[in-house]
Amino acid sequence: MKFHIPDAHADFVFSVAGEELGLIWTLVIAGLFAFILGRGFMLALNSRDLFTTLALAGLLTQLGLQAMIHMASTLSLIPTKGMTLPFLSYGGSSTLALSYGMGMVLALTRRGSAREDK
């Protein structure tokens, strides 16, 4: 079926993963996104700095919404949007932007940083 889907490497990579890898691996993919978001929001809520909390919330919301929209459009729950699945779809600018965003998340959640020592 993957040969009949338009842009299977970018817009419908979750459906290709489901066809090739099965239900267990699609649940693992969704679980990894849920783990990243849950862990990030826990760190955001435990932060003492308002800027860090708001920046983390915005960056993690972007990642979570992009993943949810891609998965929902792949499952025909919403109309297709042409949005890539973060870090898995073929797309240079999307991967680069998400990598910068996750780098900022890692920098903001670093323990013992100079920002929290002040």
Residue 88 C-alpha from the chain's centroid: 9
Query: pTM of this prediction?
Result: 0.80
Q: In angstroms, rounded to a whole number, what is the distance separating the alpha carbons of residues 41 and 19?
A: 31
Query: How confident is the model over 1-17, as pLDDT tens digits?
Result: 666 666 655 567 777 77
The terminus-to-terminus CA distance of the chain in angstroms comes to 57
- Are residues 26 and 8 in contact, defined by beta-carbon separation less than 8 angstroms? no
pLDDT at 84: 82
pLDDT at 102: 94
Domain residue ranges in the chain: 13-109
Residue 78 CB: number of other CB atoms within 10 A? 12
Q: Copy the structure tokens of residue 54.
A: 């708001």
